[in-house]
Amino acid sequence: MKKVFQFGFFALFMLSILASCKKEGALNANLDVIDKNVVAKTATDTWLDQNFLTPYNIETKYRFDRFELALGKNITPPMESQVIPAMEMVRDVWIKPYEAAGGADFIKKLSPKQFVLAGSAEYNSNGSITLGSAEGGRKIVLYVINSFDKTSLASVKQMIQVIQHEYTHILNQTVDIQPDYQTISRGGYEANWTQRPLSEAYQLGFITQYARVSPLEDFAEQSSNMLMLGRVQYNAIVAAAPADGQAKLKKKESYVVEYFKTAFNIDFYQLQTEVQNALNKISAPVLHKMIGPSIGYTTLYSNPSVDPNQSAEFLTNWNAAKTLMQTNGFILKDFTMTFKAANAMTLRYSFTNAAGTTTYFADADYSMVVNATTGVATLTLLAIQPTTTTYSNMTFINNWVVGVNNYFKTNTFRIGWINQIIPGQIGVVGSLGAFYKTTNNASYFYGVMGQ
């Protein structure tokens, strides 16, 4: 009894010393939840029961329990006000897409049984931080909950990326990955991955630096990044990789797609689309920020004579060019814009002879300067016959397509989707993008965005 009293007196004395020199400041944590034995459920508990425990038998543990987290690490408790916003995104961006692609019972049958939430990250000795972890297919720990913002696409993607990665491990514990997967980037795995650049990872066929840790981490990074990047951005990254790395990344993609289909009868590309649709509800993708090599879309293809709802002004110019071409023995078919590099675009007309048996191409190079804030593009003709071509077809037809050319050259355009005129998905391969005249929103041309 005496030792306890003395220790308590000493502790009180030390606390008094510390209190005398403390600095005031707001603490980004809720210390009230530590070691708190809660009897009555709060509104947060009720919401979690209704959205996770009852439908999926998944417990969400947010009251701070030191034994659920790595000992020896300084980790902040989560704030209760952050719990529902974070778990709403877990439901909407992770669970719902899997239900859409894998069936209503997929997550019920195969899921972690517990989420544990932590307010801060877990900091590691190698300079990296842990944003999530999975234990034996039963528990997923999510960190940095206190800084989570459900209105921020970056914040949501960071958290769901962690879940997608850890959930892939859970799936792999149910059905093993194909043994040959580990041979694709054989020799490239590196325990000291934090010291190696991302460019080297791409060169060796890894989608991230962390993917180099092991084949299982590689597979989890591959599948989770494909889901969270979406097909457009993922394809852009692959296309910009060195040839050998590009081939390996494409092969890994095929392995992931085959694994999900064979093991769980899930169309991975449908799952990918469902995830992107959920992310688009948080923040719609901005088309002008998705154009260019290594960024996203690299082409816009348009067939104005066939495509419905082309604007009247543009279609008038197109039909006039088509008539002149036909008068001179040729048939104007379509056009393609290729976004080759920053501020560079090549316009290509496709046309045939009168019989339709021979196809010709006519190219012109433009500069395309896009305002990063407004998405307004200015097109300036540089050469009607690019030096990279060995034919003079644009020179040959230039006077016949002058109306269309002038439409491109003499206007500025706001780049955007056309889904409000022609309903459809945005942000995916095959979405429809439009160039609207800044002086008349009813005047535009549109086409299929591709890569």
- 372: confidence class by pLDDT, cuts 50, 70, 90: very high
Q: Decide if pLDDT at 351 tops 50.
A: yes
Average pLDDT over residues 351-366: 96
How many Å separate Cα 169 from the centre of its chain? 20
**In which band, very low, low, confident or very high, does the pLDDT at 68 lie, cut at 50, 70 and 90?**
confident
Query: Which of 303-307, 367-371, 386-390 comes out lowest in average pLDDT?
Result: 386-390
pLDDT above 90 covers a percentage of the chain that reads 77
Q: Residue 212 burial (CB < 10 Å; 0-12/13-18/19+)?
A: buried
Distances (CA, A) of 337 to 14, 238, 289, 303, 358: 72, 21, 16, 12, 21
Q: Is the pLDDT of residue 101 over 80?
A: yes
**pLDDT for 390 beyond 90:** no
Please check the confidence at residue 31 and state whether its pLDDT lies above 60.
no
Look at residue 321 and tell me whether its pLDDT is greater than 70: yes
Provide the token pair at 186.
């054989």
Confidence of residue 15 (pLDDT cuts 50, 70, 90): very low
On the question of pLDDT at 33 being above 60, the answer is no
pLDDT band at residue 326 under the 50/70/90 scheme: very high
Lowest mean per-residue pLDDT among 11-25, 39-53, 275-289: 11-25
Q: Give me the mean pLDDT over the 329-342 stretch.
A: 94
Match 């696409």 to its residue by tokens. 153
Q: Which among 27, 95, 28, 23 is positioned nearest to 60, based on CA atoms?
A: 95
Report percent pLDDT > 70 for the chain: 88
Distance, CA of 70 to chain centre: 30
What is residue 123's predicted lDDT score, i.e. its pLDDT? 72
* pLDDT tens per residue across span 168-203: 999 999 999 999 999 999 999 998 898 899 999 999
Q: Is residue 12 pLDDT above 70, yes or no?
A: no
Asked if pLDDT for residue 9 goes beyond 90, the answer is no
Q: Residue 360: pLDDT above 60? A: yes
**List of residues 6+ apart from 101 with CB closer than 8 A:** 266, 267, 270, 271, 274
For residue 74, the model assigns a pLDDT of 73
Domains of the chain as residue ranges with CATH: 31-283 (3.40.390.70), 290-450 (no CATH)
pTM: 0.82
Inform me whether the pLDDT recorded for 23 exceeds 50: no
Residue 226: pLDDT over 80: yes
pLDDT at position 30, please?
58
Contact of 358 with 331, CB cutoff 8 Å: no
Q: Which pLDDT value is given to residue 34?
A: 55
Q: What is the mean pLDDT of residues 231-248?
A: 96
Model confidence band, residue 21 (pLDDT cutoffs 50, 70, 90):
very low
Residue of higher predicted confidence among 64 and 395? 395
Closest CA to 41 of 60, 67, 69: 60
Residue 230 has pLDDT above 60, yes or no: yes
Mean pLDDT value across residues 122-132 = 70
In this model, does residue 14 exceed pLDDT 70?
A: no
Closest CA to 433 of 288, 272, 230: 288
The 10 Å Cβ neighbour count of residue 157 is 19
